[in-house]
Structure 1
Amino acid sequence: MDNLPALSDGLYLDITDFAHSTPHWFQQLAEVWTELGLLLFGVLFAAGWWRARRGSGDAMALALLAPLATAFGYVVSEGLKSLVDEERPCRAVAGAPASLVACPPHGDWSFPSNHSAIAGAAAVALALSWRGIVWLTAPMALLMAFSRVFVGVHYPHDVTVGLLLGGAVAFVVVKAAKRPVRSVVEAARSSRNGAVVWCVGRGLPAHASARPAGVRHGAY
């Protein structure tokens, strides 16, 4: 892994030099986005859960799995980070301009980027649970990853691997856990505990899930 930072040094310097050439307001926007983006993913998790309360058991299972799969993406990324021990570019790259945000302390390793892993995992998990939202979550994840290089705290290969790793872990977790979580959701929806039912929703109304025999979807 020691040669990876060297391969990214040139691109890192190009991006950070560009960052310092941008207006101050744009730099501040990047500094805010590098953290705010994670909060916006959290808002989307909540919105996805809320809209799934009147959806099928599959829909609620996927909505519940989205933040869980994202958490798994972070855990795997953090585990890999502790094995690689790559120094941050804001400390290791000779001649690099000062990072726009405080350079993390020694021991807070660079590879892979946890922010990017979380963003990649969230983008994939939300896309699996909410049709069409990938057109929002994918650009959000890419901007989150780029912002980590832009502010100077990660190499390009850190964020690339973080995105791919987080997305792959989220995909595997969602696909593997969908069926058992759906069973839990269906059991919870038949519970007599009002709080439990409120959390998972009541699902589709009976008239929406039951169709007369021989009547096709969309035929009236």
Structure 2
Amino acid sequence: MNDSPTPAGWYADPSSPNAPPRYWDGHTWHTREESAERQGAPFETEAPTHLPAPEQPKRSPGRWKVWTAVGVGIAVVAAIGTTVTLALVPTQIERAAEACEGTSSWERFIEEASLESEESEDEGLFGELEIAEYFEGSIAVEDNGRTLLVSTKPADDDPLGISALVLDCVYAELDTPSRVSEVISSTRALDGRQTATWDSYSASWGYHPDNGLDLIVSDK
């Protein structure tokens, strides 16, 4: 084995024989540009076998890879944005619950009866706090805004049927056809559990004088 140092000079590139010769300074390889001033050095046609191969330049990723990565990133961001937007937009069930919660259905009834701006016997009979008690817990939303739960007070607690106004409010918000609302309003305890569908909604309900009427509406 020959351990003597190889003298500086121009040699064939051992890693690419067909490439132009490269300059060996006795320690490392140089490119032609880096060694332009060494043109006077002798050129050997074959490099000694114990010389290390010059490092090959690293190739940058192809443009198609870069654009693919950019496209994937844009698609992910768009998907996240769509998901967040959909999550922030309330469903029709949630909008109906918001419109009919609390004493909203009572206020709507007063407005529709043209009694909003003038005193009446009804206004003298009921205070604001007393009215709110009739609608306490009358409406709720479940299943991420896909299901609406509506209930009225028992007959003993609500002899005038004031809590049933929440049903009228829900009918209006969900465009419930009269064929469905009339059946709900006329349901008796002995009728058992009833069902109906309209548009994208399915409903089930039941009535008992000790519990009132309970209605479940789901968006299919």
Task: Say whether the fold is shared (TM-score over 0.5).
Answer: no
- Larger radius of gyration between Structure 1 and Structure 2: 2
Please identify which structure carries the higher strand content. Answer: 2
State the structure with bigger RCO (CA 8 A, min sep 6), 1 or 2: 1
Q: TM-score, normalised by structure 2?
A: 0.26
More helix, by proportion: 1
